[in-house]
Structure 1
Amino acid sequence: MKVLGINAFHGDASAVLLKDGAFHAGIEEERLNRIKHWAGFPARAIETVLAMGRVTLEDVEHVAVSRDPKAHLLEKALFAFKHRPGLDAIQSRLKNHRRVGGLEELLAANVGHGPPFRGAIHNVEHHRAHLASAFYCSPFEEAACLTIDGFGDFLSSMSAVGRGTRLEILDDVMFPHSLGIFYTAVTQFLGFPKYGDEYKVMGLASYGRPSFLPRMREIVRLRENGLFETD
């Protein structure tokens, strides 16, 4: 079985090819188009992993994309009703959802010139994709699993227990609370203007002292259940 995994319209767009459940090839689009943290459709990355696997799009039985526009719709609607985001923000999110939902057309228009893809497309909730990529590639039969990032499908963190071929979701942290966005805000406050420089601040942190720790604890608060919330 051949499975094509895609991260599209999200930071560090990429593609990976699995053959019979084993990793075969993977690459980020930025390595090919030379644009850091490319967040569009990874057409070149897809063509590259297919070429490395000596297969065509017609040979692929399943495509999985690490976004699910239908995830957490109720929570999204309640947040929008309460906070009334601007028209530009709403149009931007709807455009992004349409692009992720139109994956079959994007594959046909951007990848190869042979027969079209005729397999199944699976939208995988963003943080479940993170959990799966870590646990299923590990040597463990059972493990505690945790994801923390900026945001994906309205979540910034998810915890689970992995057993065998299953993931039992324990809890999650929803928008607008995010350690990843907080880290990005600190990074930009320090003078790094763009997304993607967080690793520089992480390296610099080892040379500093926790002078602002009390203030930081006012911004990021631990809850009784072990999760967090941000101010």
Structure 2
Amino acid sequence: MYILGINAYHGGASACLIQDGRIIAAAEEERFNRVKYWAGFPVQAIRYVLDEAGIQPADLDHIGISRDPKANLLQAALFAFAQRPTLAMVRDRLANTMKVGSLKSEFVRHMGISADVLKADFHNVEHHRAHLASAFFVSPFDQAAVLSVDGAGDFVTTMWAVGKDNQLTVLDEINFPHSLGIFYTAICQWLGYLKYGDEGKIMGLAPYGEPVYLDAMRKLVRLQRDGTFELDLDYFVHHAEGAAMTW
């Protein structure tokens, strides 16, 4: 059985091919088009992993993408009602959601094939559940605590779960706009690193510094009694204007 996993319309567009539980090949689109953290559809990466296995799209049994537009719709609607984000932000998110939600038509269009040749089932996997799965299911552990933290995906920024055997039980999550990933990106941009993906440079520089701004940071990110966190949104604009990420 062949399973193709896709990250599309999100930073680091990529593809991974699995045959009977074994990874055959994986690649990011940026390796082919030379655009760092490219966020379109990973056409060349898909072709590469299929070529590595010597198969065609018609041989695929399942195709999945690490986004599910139907996830957390109520939370997103309540946020939009309360925060009234800009029209540009709403339009951008709707356009992205429509592409992710029509995975089969997008796959057919970009791969230049007819839908009739595909026998694969298509799956939209909630973003952070995909992160959790990619960490736990390839680990050497039969049971583990699993944590996913990033900017945002499917309106969730942080999710934690217990992994046991071949199951993941999600314990809780933190929703947008409270995001450690966006907080980190905002700090990088404030320091002059405006391109998405430069966070690694700041991480590399961090050990050479001293925590002289720790008290200020604690005002930006407020720890809660239950161990979760909230951002002081007075210092951020992403909840109204969207995250300023460029690839």
TM range (shorter): over 0.9
Deviations 1:64-101 (A, max 9, x none): 10000000000010011111122222221111111111
Partner of 2:85: 85
1:156 Cα deviation from its structure 2 partner:
0.7
Which moves more between the two structures, 85-94 or 14-23? 85-94
Pairing 1:107–2:124 present: no
Counterpart position of 2:167: 166
Query: Which residue does the alignment assign to 2:94?
Result: 94
Aligned residue in 2 for 1:39? 39
Unaligned runs of 5+ in 2: 233-247
Opposite residue 78 of structure 1, the aligned amino acid is: L
Give the TM-score normalised by structure 2: 0.91
Q: Is the 8 A contact 1:18 1:25 kept in 2?
A: yes
Shift of 1:112: 5.5
1:12 and 1:171 map into 2 onto residues whose CA distance is 26
Q: 1:113 to 1:176 in 2, by over 3 A?
A: closer
1:72 & 1:113 partners in 2: Cα distance?
A: 33
- Distance across 2 between alignment mates of 1:82 and 1:181: 20
Whether the 8 Å contact between 1:13 and 1:40 is mirrored in structure 2 is yes
Question: What does the per-residue CA deviation read over 1:156-190, in whole Å, with 9 as the maximum and x for residues that have no partner?
Answer: 11000000000010111101101110100110111
What do the CA deviations read for 1:128-153 (whole angstroms, capped 9, x no partner)?
00000000000110001001111111
The 3-state SS of whatever aligns with 1:161 is strand
2:165 counterpart letter in structure 1: G
Match runs of 1:34-183 below 5 Å: 34-111=34-111, 113=113, 116-183=117-184
Q: Report if aligned partners of 1:108, 1:116 keep a CA contact under 8 Å in 2.
A: no
Map of 1:213 onto structure 2: 214
Q: Which amino acid aligns with 1:189?
A: W
Q: Aligned to 1:11, what secondary structure does the other structure show?
A: coil
TM-score, normalized by length of structure 1?
Answer: 0.97
CA contact 1:9–1:39 (8 Å) conserved in 2: yes
Q: Is the 8 A contact 1:104 1:117 kept in 2?
A: no
Q: Report if aligned partners of 1:57, 1:112 keep a CA contact under 8 Å in 2.
A: no
The match for 2:240 is none
Gaps of 5+ in 1: none
Matched, 1:188 2:189: yes
> How far is 1:116 from its partner?
2.9
Q: Which residue of 1 aligns with 2:29?
A: 29
SS at match of 1:206: helix
Deviations 1:90-133 (A, max 9, x none): 22111111111121112212225576322111100000000000
In 2, the alpha carbon distance for the partners of 1:83 and 1:110 equals 36
Amino acid at match of 2:147: L
Measured in 2, the distance between the counterparts of 1:103 and 1:77 equals 23
Is the CA contact 1:107–1:117 (under 8 Å) kept in the aligned structure 2?
A: no
1:20 aligns with 2:47: no
Q: Give the Cα–Cα distance (whole angstroms) in 1 for the partners of residues 158 and 118 of structure 2.
A: 33
SS of equivalent residue, structure 2 residue 94: helix
Post-superposition offset of 1:207: 0.4
Identity among equivalent pairs (%) = 54
Larger RCO, structures 1/2 (Cα 8 Å, 6+ apart): 2
Contact 1:47 1:112 in 2 (8 A): no
- What's the counterpart of residue 11 of structure 1? 11
